[in-house]
Each structure stands twice: as structure tokens, then as C-alpha cells.
């Protein structure tokens, strides 16, 4: 079963003459250990696509399946649970909780799900170790470098052992060298776990880290 | 919820402004309430001490003890009403007295026939039980007080607590002594030996029902329950209503302070809350964090404000009748908690409307 399968998905904002088509008959399939880069300029629809795949937005038409989950049929509560348990997000600029330590930023995910605390802590420590952040586990985001913050964000996205991880411009706030290091890290972590990933980026220099790149222009996907 | 707690513990500075404002409001509420209770207690102690359920005034008195007259025939008629267990006469005189060898004191001299919750059976003629507040005015056990222009001598033979009447310390005397004091205070208002200003009625039946029977069967009387009589005392009702309004407005201000603070907090954290929603936080979980913070800030303000109020109450001059009571503290604590909850709830709608999709796309 593919990690992601979206068929003929449309997303239209507004109605009548004010209607804006953000996503136009988009069809995409991502295998269960595949890493796909979604490339396009600003306003091309890549954020909308990422939001629909991550259960943050509902499509106007079409079907979206993430693993066994047909999320285009989900209501708000089911989508909240889906995001909490089956998908991982890495946002632009890391977007960490400023008053929590690196470890606690990872533990948020399990706290929201009400999981076993001891198990969650073991997993958080294991992830931090794998990401080379054991020595920074008790540091708050304000005392971490840009790269370290992004690694914490990756750790948070992997906490719930997701079937699909979505990266929203993970290198936009980083210089080229650090951006490449982060992309290398993302590839290593995703591939090492056999997890599927969609990486949204406008930086074509980063696409070679993915298994393949898909271009999006005016809401339409071009393989 | 844990997130709310952790932010409160690790970033207490963010909550100092609101906590400080709420603390000041708690102090204001406790001192206002304490002042209200002090004034109320100072005016009504002699009534609240009664074990009788009813007090009967003459109908033309407009429910004022000082204007009322109940003669022996009326007392007998009341005694004959079904449901009446015991009738006893009482009256009060507001007058000045001079402590022999000391200074002058303002007094309420209360004549009574039957004991009550605070005062034992009447002492011998020429003797009195004194309200303990008179001690602060220089009265001591064994002192003789010369009362009124005729200097009726009364010896203090014991202390009683919480029996003040219209803000005056009371002297509780037997009927003969009281009649003597009444004559010296108001020669024009002298009463026959067995006539009192009011009759205290203990009932074996529902007090309201007995009051209805007295009103119907004993012409010229105005029976009131003790609670009604307390609020019929000069100024008590107006005083209570005024303070209640001030306290109500202060509670509303507390709610507004909290509402404004958490509205700003939510506005400031739209990005963070959007991210949390995106990774699976429910609106309920985010609202619980907000409630946790509102409750803890309110509790902290109550504890600190309560401690400061106690310290202030201990140093205010004795003339300011502030009395901090547990009941008032409980009302204030619950009130501040509830208004804080309501205030924070104003932000719930905003949390519900936060779009988790706002977390992506750099918005």
C-alpha cells in the first residue's frame, strides 16, 4: 500500500467570480519509503497540497489516502486524531515551543495523544541521540542553533512513528551549507526508518536529496 | 494542561502584570467585604444574638425600636397566639456614660428579660454585662459607669461578645435599671414599669406563620423575623446594597482584567497555537491549558492578596471596623476564581477559530 495516494484533487477557495483554484486535478502517489520533493514558486499551490495531505485542509473534490486512511472523508475530530497519530510535520523555521526544552518539544506529541510517559521519554531520548542532540536535550530553543532547532523539529515529527512526514520549506531559514546538511539529515532519517516523506521547497538545489521531484505550477502537478 | 502549567512556572514574568492586578483586586474585595462585615456586625450584634425567632414592634413605630411601645396587654395578647412559646420584653437607649475615675463612653443600654445566645439571664439591678468592645474604650470589669444626665450608676460584672447595637458598645441590664436609664435619657418618653419597646417572641411553629397570626390577631403590632428586623435597622439595608454594588463591580473588573489578558495572550500566540493544532492538539486541550493558567493565576492572587489583606487589617486603626471572616474570604476566593474562568472563557472562541493550516506556509 502506498504511503500517499491522491487522485484528481481540487481545492477551490471562495466561490463564483471570486473563486481561486489553488489545486487543480492533482494526482500524486508516494511509495511507503519514498522521499518526494515538491517544487514550485510562491503561490503555486504547494502549501495547499501539503495541508490537504497532512489533514489540515479538506479538498473541494478528489480522494486522499494516507496509508489506510481515507482522510478526504474525515471530519474535524478524526483529522485532529489523524494528525496526532499518523503524520509528522516539520514546519518552516522549526516552530518549536519556546519555553520547553528540546526533549519536552518532542514529548508534546505523546502528551497530546495521552501516551505512556516512560515509553515516550525513552523514544524522545533515543531520537535526540540519533539526531546528535543528546547533550542539548535540556536546552530551550533560544539556546539552540538554527540547525539544532531544525533537528529538534525533525525529532518531533518522528515521535509518533508516522507513516508519512511532511516538510514545509525545511531549509528556507538556513544558509546553503546548513540547508544541505539538514536535507542530508532528513534523507538519512527518513530512509533509515523506511518512512515516506514529502518535502516542499522552492529551492531547486535541494531536490537531488529526494528520490524524485514533482513540480507544481498554478495548482497543477508536473512529474 | 501541562503545557499551560509549564509556561506559568517557567515564564512567570508574563503573568506578573495580570497576577498583580488580580492581587490588588483581591485586596480591595477582601477589605471592602471586611469593612461591610465590620459595619454590619457593629450595627446588628444585639439582634443577631437573639434566640427568639420574632421581634414585635408597635405598628406606628415604622419598625424602629426607639419609636416602638409594647404594653403588658399587648404582650399577653401575643402570648396567647398559637405557636408562641415565650414572650419577653426588650428595649434600647443610646446614651453617653462616664466611667467613674475614667473618661466618657457612648453606649447602647439594652434592657432585657430573657437570656440569648450571647448574654446570660439579666444581672441584679444596677449591674450590667458589657460588650467586650467597650474594653478598648477604657471600661474594665468592676468599673461603675454613671449613665446619662442623672448619672444612673451601673457596675460592669461581665463581658459579652458581638452584641453591639447601631455601632455602640452595649450594656445589658435588667428591666428596672433600663427604665431608669430611659427616663434620664428621654424624660418625655418614660414608659410604665412593665412596658417595653418591643417583644421578643420564641415560637414552636413556623416563625412566618406565627408572625402572620400575630399581625392578624393582635391589632397595632408589626411582627418581624430577626433577619427582617436586622435589615430594618437604620442604614443597614442601604449600607449592604451600596457595598454589594461596589463589590459586584469589582468582581466584574476582575473578569475584564483576565479576559483582556488572555485575549492578548491568545492573539500573541496564534502561531504557536496553530502549530499545536497542526500536530494534533484539540481545541479542548488548548482551552484546558488556558483554564489551568487562569485558575492558577487567580489562586496565586487570592493567596498573596489574602496574606496582604490580613496584614493590612492588623494595622488599620481600631476606629475602622474591618473584620475579615472566613465566609467572606471563601466568597471572595470563589468569586475571583469564577470571574477568572469566565474571563478566560472569552478567549475560547478565538482558540476554536484558529486554523491549524496557518502553521504551514510560513504564515
> What does the pLDDT look like over A65-93, one tens digit per residue?
999 999 999 999 999 999 999 999 998 87
Judge whether residue A18 has pLDDT over 90: no
* B278/A82 Cα distance (integer angstroms): 10
Banded pLDDT at A63 (limits 50, 70, 90) = very high
Give the pTM: 0.81
What pLDDT does residue A223 have? Answer: 64
- CA A134, CA B354: separation in Å to the nearest integer? 34
* pLDDT cut 90: percent of chain A above it: 63
In chain B, residues 58-77 whose CB comes closer than 8 Å to chain A: none
Mutate to test the interface with B, among A56, A121, A162, A174 (most CBs of B within 10 A): A56
CB contact under 8 A, B2 and A111: yes
pLDDT of residue B362: 57
Please tell me which residue of chain B has the smallest CA distance to A79: B280
- Which of A83, A156, A168 has the CB atom closest to B361's CB atom? A168
Contact between B82 and B213 under an 8 Å Cβ cutoff? The reply is yes
Size of interface A-B (CB pairs under 8 A): 76
pLDDT, tens digit (0-9, with 9 covering 90-100), for A34-52: 999 999 888 889 899 999 9
Interchain CB distance below 8 Å, B7 and A93: no
Taking the Cβ of residue B279 and every Cβ of chain A, the question of whether any pair is shorter than 8 Å is answered with yes
Q: Does an H or E element contain A34, and which?
A: none
Residue among A56, A92, A97 minimizing CB distance to B272:
A97
CB nearest to B7's CB, from A57, A77, A99: A99
Position B56 scores a pLDDT of: 97
pLDDT in tens, A84-118: 999 999 988 788 999 999 999 999 989 888 878 89
Residues 6+ apart with CB under 8 A from A208: none
Residue B356: closest C-alpha in chain A: A56
How many whole angstroms separate alpha carbon B52 and alpha carbon B61? Answer: 20
Query: What confidence score (pLDDT) does residue A174 get?
Result: 76
Q: Which of B277, B282, B360 sits opposite A91 (nearest CB)?
A: B360
Q: How far is A132 from chain B (nearest CA, A)?
A: 23
Within 8 A of A84 by CB-CB distance, chain B residues are 279-281
Chain A positions touching B277 (Cβ under 8 A) are: 80
> In angstroms, what separates the C-alpha of B232 from chain A's closest C-alpha?
58
How much is the pLDDT for B358?
87
Cβ separation A95–B275 shorter than 8 A: yes
Alpha helices in A39-175 (DSSP H): 46-53, 76-86, 102-113, 117-130, 146-158
Facing B282 at nearest CB: one of A50, A80, A100: A80
Report chain B residues whose CB lies below 8 A from the CB of A98. 272
Q: Which residues of chain B have pLDDT under 70?
A: 1, 362-363
pLDDT bucket at A142, cuts 50 / 70 / 90: very high
- The pLDDT value given to residue B250: 95
Which of A56, A109, A111 lies nearest to residue B360, judging by beta carbons? Answer: A56
| CA-based end-to-end distance of chain A | 21
**SS3 category, A37:** strand
**Which residue of B2, B278, B359 is the best one to mutate when testing the A interface, meaning the one whose CB has the most A CBs within 10 A?**
B278
Report chain B's terminal Cα–Cα distance, integer Å. Answer: 26
Interface of B with A in 199-218 (CB under 8 A): none
Three-state SS string across chain B, please? CHHHHHHHHHCCHHHHHHHHHHHHHHHHHHHHHHHHHHHHHHHHHHHHCCCCCEEEEEHHHCCCHHHCCECHHHHHHHHCCCCEEEEEEEEEEEEEEEECCCCEEEEEEEEECCCCCCCCCCCCCCEEEEEHHHHHHCCCCCCEEEECCCCEEEEEEEEECCCCECCEEEEEECHHHHHHHHHHHCHHHCCCCCCECEEEEEECCCHHHHHHHHHHHCCCEEEEEHHHHHHHCCCHHHHHHHHHHHHHHHHHHHHHHHHHHHHHHHHHCHHHHHHHHHCCCCHHHHHHHHHHHHHHHHHHHHHHHHHHHHHHHHHCCCCCCCCCCHHHHHHHHHHHHHHHHHHHHCCHHHHHHCCHHHHCCCC
C-beta atoms of A108 and B276 within 8 A:
yes
| Spatial separation of the C-alpha atoms in residues A10 and B94, rounded to whole Å | 89
Cα(A219)–Cα(A158) distance, rounded to whole angstroms? 29
Residue B134 pLDDT = 95
Amino acid at each position: 500500500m502506498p504511503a500517499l495516494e491522491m487522485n484528481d484533487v481540487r481545492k477551490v477557495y471562495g466561490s463564483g467570480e471570486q473563486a481561486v483554484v489553488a489545486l487543480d486535478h492533482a494526482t500524486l502517489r508516494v511509495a511507503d519509503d519514498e522521499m518526494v520533493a515538491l517544487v514550485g514558486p510562491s503561490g503555486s499551490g504547494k502549501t495547499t497540497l501539503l495541508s490537504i495531505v497532512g489533514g489540515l485542509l479538506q479538498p473541494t473534490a478528489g480522494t486522499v489516502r494516507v496509508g489506510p486512511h481515507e482522510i478526504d472523508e474525515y471530519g474535524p475530530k478524526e483529522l485532529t486524531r489523524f494528525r496526532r497519530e499518523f503524520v509528522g510535520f516539520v514546519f518552516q523555521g522549526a516552530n518549536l515551543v519556546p519555553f520547553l526544552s528540546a526533549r519536552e518539544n518532542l514529548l508534546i506529541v505523546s502528551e497530546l495523544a495521552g501516551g505512556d510517559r516512560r515509553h515516550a521519554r525513552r523514544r524522545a531520548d533515543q531520537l535526540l541521540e540519533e539526531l546528535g542532540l543528546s547533550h542539548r536535550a535540556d536546552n530551550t530553543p533560544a539556546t539552540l542553533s538554527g540547525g539544532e532547532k531544525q533537528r529538534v523539529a525533525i525529532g518531533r515529527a518522528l515521535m509518533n512513528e508516522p507513516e508519512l512526514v511532511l516538510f514545509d520549506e525545511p531549509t528556507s531559514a538556513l544558509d546553503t551549507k546548513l540547508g544541505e546538511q539538514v536535507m542530508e539529515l532528513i534523507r538519512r532519517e527518513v530512509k533509515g526508518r523506511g518512512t515516506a516523506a514529502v518535502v516542499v521547497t522552492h529551492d531547486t538545489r535541494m531536490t537531488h536529496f529526494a528520490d524524485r521531484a514533482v513540480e507544481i505550477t498554478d495548482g497543477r502537478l508536473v512529474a | 494542561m501541562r503545557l499551560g502549567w509549564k509556561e506559568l512556572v517557567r515564564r512567570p514574568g508574563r503573568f506578573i502584570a495580570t497576577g498583580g492586578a488580580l492581587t490588588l483586586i483581591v485586596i480591595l474585595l477582601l477589605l471592602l467585604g471586611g469593612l461591610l462585615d465590620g459595619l454590619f456586625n457593629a450595627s446588628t450584634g444585639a439582634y443577631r444574638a437573639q434566640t427568639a425567632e420574632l421581634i414585635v414592634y408597635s405598628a406606628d413605630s415604622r419598625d424602629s425600636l426607639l419609636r416602638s411601645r409594647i404594653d403588658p396587654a399587648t404582650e399577653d395578647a401575643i402570648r396567647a397566639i398559637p405557636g408562641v412559646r415565650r414572650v419577653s420584653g426588650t428595649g434600647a437607649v443610646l446614651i453617653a456614660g462616664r466611667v467613674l475615675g475614667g473618661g466618657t463612653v457612648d453606649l447602647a443600654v439594652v434592657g432585657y428579660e430573657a437570656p440569648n445566645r450571647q448574654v446570660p439571664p439579666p444581672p441584679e439591678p444596677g449591674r450590667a454585662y458589657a460588650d467586650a468592645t467597650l474594653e478598648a474604650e477604657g471600661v474594665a470589669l468592676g468599673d461603675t459607669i454613671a449613665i446619662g444626665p442623672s448619672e444612673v450608676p451601673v457596675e460592669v460584672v461581665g463581658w459579652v461578645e458581638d452584641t453591639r447595637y447601631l455601632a455602640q458598645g452595649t450594656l445589658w441590664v435588667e428591666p428596672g435599671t433600663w427604665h431608669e436609664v430611659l427616663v434620664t435619657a428621654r424624660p418625655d418618653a418614660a414608659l410604665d414599669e412593665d412596658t417595653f419597646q418591643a417583644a421578643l417572641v420564641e415560637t414552636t411553629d413556623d416563625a412566618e406563620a406565627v408572625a402572620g397570626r400575630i399581625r392578624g390577631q393582635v391589632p397595632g403590632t408589626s411582627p418581624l423575623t430577626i433577619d427582617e428586623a436586622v435589615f430594618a435597622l437604620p442604614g443597614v439595608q442601604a449600607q449592604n446594597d451600596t457595598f454589594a454594588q461596589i463589590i459586584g463591580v469589582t468582581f466584574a473588573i476582575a473578569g475584564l482584567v483576565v479576559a483582556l489578558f488572555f485575549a492578548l495572550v491568545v492573539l500573541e500566540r496564534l502561531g504557536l497555537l496553530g502549530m499545536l493544532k497542526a500536530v494534533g492538539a484539540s481545541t479542548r486541550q488548548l482551552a484546558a491549558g488556558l483554564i489551568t493558567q487562569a485558575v492558577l493565576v487567580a489562586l496565586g492572587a487570592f493567596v498573596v492578596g489574602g496574606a496582604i489583606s490580613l496584614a493590612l487589617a492588623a494595622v488599620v486603626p481600631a476606629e475602622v471596623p474591618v473584620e475579615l471572616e472566613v465566609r467572606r474570604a471563601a466568597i471572595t476566593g470563589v468569586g475571583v476564581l469564577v470571574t477568572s474562568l469566565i474571563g478566560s472563557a472569552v478567549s475560547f472562541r478565538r482558540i476554536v477559530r484558529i486554523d491549524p493550516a496557518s502553521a504551514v506556509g510560513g504564515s
